[in-house]
Structure 1
Amino acid sequence: MSNEVGSALAVTPDTHRTVLRPNAMTHVVMPLAAVLVASFVLMQHYGDLEVSAWLYAAQGHAWALKDAWITEQVIHKLGRNLSIGAGLVVLGLAIASAWKPSLAGLRRPLLRLFVSVALSTILVSLLKKHTGMDCPWDLTRFGGSREFYGLFDARPAGVRASGCFPAGHASAGYAWLALYFFALEVWPRWRYPALGFAVALGMLFGFSQQLRGAHFMSHDVWTAAICWFTALALFVLWPPKKDADAARGRPGAAD
């Protein structure tokens, strides 16, 4: 079985294939503009509160899905565990590539994929501890006990924040935006399906948490941005083998 898996994932070195490179307009400018516009609407013009108010009202003016089996046990807990498991599989394949020739060509992209997924989720977790925003379910208008404060609003002394920004659980899905860059290097024709899968997974995880009252929509937007730009930065700083060899002025070799 292991030989079959290795053969399926094997990358045949092709010195004639040109590795596609990220374009500044489509990979940096457009995503950044989308994040800023979405943030302006959701955070500055209270779109977050309007969306959460609609979700809250639709559930009978309560977070009826907060502890529901599908949102709590399946999408939240099982989804998180499956994402962690997938990350460990990627790491395992990267380690196995050290002695399996059929995986040798995937060593660099697999390692970059694992580091990107791990680093994205860590960055989101660290930011949550320092931004100090409340969750919708914490607010008085949604059945909680706290007043709403924006991301940059000063809080009165003694008012403790929940640390809900960015969205932690959504990062378990959006972290896989790194699959786009993995495919960009290894199987370019699959880069858009990979991108679509990661976006769909992040949206599923994020919307489920919004239904529970755990996050505002802007929290997911910024989580997606963090994951995307982390993956992009790693791809640029840790480029495909051919690009790295070309920068050093020598022909490519098996990694």
Structure 2
Amino acid sequence: MSSVPVAPFPIPLVAATAAPHFLRRHLWLPLLATLAASTVLMGLGGDQWLADRFYRLEGQHWALQNAWVTSHLVHHGGKWMSTAAALVVVVLCTHAWRRPRAAAWRWPLLYLVLAVALGTGVVSLLKSVINMDCPWDLARYGGLREYVGLFASRPHGMPRGVCFPAGHSSAGFAWIGLYFFALMVRPAWRWRGLAVGLLAGAVFGLAQQLRGAHFLSHDLWTLATCWLVSLALYCAFQPLLKIHRAVAQAEPA
């Protein structure tokens, strides 16, 4: 008799991710919403409109740039909190792969580990290759540089910008992988998982905007990147989950 238990939760079939309604709700609608919001924020000046108001409320300088709440509590503390949560998931994943009785949680937990790691990693990679400035670098907000759009050519000799997409909010938005994790284990929990990732990313992102570190569009594209990474990984995991389900159901209780 095998020690591998039957999965205590229904694992979705691979066909679910290929269904038109699944891709429409999870890929095309979010992508269209992101592009529409980007048009308003980056193309029609929405970024500057919002940043202008933050800047004015703070007295025509970034008064919260080094404030304890935004800099130490949310920026540094939030990063450590996200790292600690990721380590807990790694420990749980390792336990599941070592203990036959927890075998049903192996692939979902491995998915969550990879979703968080790849979400933050891809954002960091994009930051290193996309050349955009932070608001606090711009002359409009007390800096020295002129604003250069995402697809515009930067003047020769202008220092590189490393502010797009937003890195810090990825420590929160990467946890939207909890939505797809819940689809694997308890679909009814998926909205709670999504709420955790959205709330964490929004808090981290707002704190950075109040510090002058990012425009809203920077956080929007961090969210979009983390969502697309989590979705792609979920689709990639479906064949593995299907095999696991078949093996688990074939084993005698």
Q: TM-score, normalised by structure 2?
A: 0.90
Match of 2:12 among 12, 16, 19: 19
- Whichever residue aligns with residue 173 of structure 1, its letter is G
Q: Which moved more, 1:100-109 or 1:176-185?
A: 100-109
Q: Which residue of 1 aligns with 2:173?
A: 174
Q: CA deviation at 1:12?
A: 5.9
Q: CA deviation at 1:113?
A: 0.6
Residue deviations 1:33-79 (CA, integer Å, cap 9, x gap) = 11000110000111111110111001111101100101011100010
Q: CA deviation at 1:242?
A: 4.4
For the residues of structure 2 that align with 1:244 and 1:24, how far apart are their CA atoms? Answer: 22
Structure 1 stretches (4+) deviating beyond 6 angstroms? Answer: none
Structure 1: gaps of 5 or more residues: 1-10
Look up the SS of the partner of 2:98 in the other structure: coil
For the residues of structure 1 that align with 2:76 and 2:219, how far apart are their CA atoms? Answer: 18
Q: Which residue of 2 aligns with 1:6?
A: none
- Does 2:219 align with 1:224? no
CA contact (8 A) 1:185 1:240 kept: no
RMSD: 1.9
Q: CA deviation at 1:168?
A: 0.1
Residue deviations 1:87-138 (CA, integer Å, cap 9, x gap) = 1111111111122234221110111111111011111111111111000000
- Does 2:123 align with 1:127? no
CA contact (8 A) 2:6 2:248 kept: no
CA contact (8 A) 1:166 1:219 kept: yes
For the residues of structure 2 that align with 1:218 and 1:92, how far apart are their CA atoms? Answer: 34
1:240–1:72 Cα change, 3 Å:
farther
Residue deviations 1:206-229 (CA, integer Å, cap 9, x gap) = 011000000000000100000001
Q: Which residue of 2 aligns with 1:146?
A: 145
How is 1:53-92 mapped onto 2 (pairs within 5 angstroms)? 53-92=52-91
Q: Which residue of 2 aligns with 1:4?
A: none
Structure 2: gaps of 5 or more residues: none
For the residues of structure 1 that align with 2:189 and 2:202, how far apart are their CA atoms? Answer: 20
For the residues of structure 1 that align with 2:33 and 2:236, how far apart are their CA atoms? Answer: 24
For the residues of structure 1 that align with 2:39 and 2:113, how far apart are their CA atoms? Answer: 32
How is 1:96-245 mapped onto 2 (pairs within 5 angstroms)? 96-239=95-238, 241-244=240-243
For the residues of structure 1 that align with 2:27 and 2:175, how far apart are their CA atoms? Answer: 18
For the residues of structure 1 that align with 2:64 and 2:25, how far apart are their CA atoms? Answer: 37
For the residues of structure 1 that align with 2:43 and 2:234, how far apart are their CA atoms? Answer: 32
Q: TM-score, normalised by structure 1?
A: 0.89
Q: CA deviation at 1:162?
A: 2.2
Q: CA deviation at 1:240?
A: 6.5
- Whichever residue aligns with residue 78 of structure 1, its letter is G
For the residues of structure 2 that align with 1:206 and 1:75, how far apart are their CA atoms? Answer: 10
Q: CA deviation at 1:14?
A: 4.8
Q: CA deviation at 1:239?
A: 1.5
Q: Which moved more, 1:20-29 or 1:212-221?
A: 20-29
CA contact (8 A) 2:131 2:162 kept: yes
For the residues of structure 1 that align with 2:214 and 2:6, how far apart are their CA atoms? Answer: 44
State percent identity of aligned pairs: 45
- Whichever residue aligns with residue 34 of structure 2, its letter is V
1:14–1:103 Cα change, 3 Å:
closer
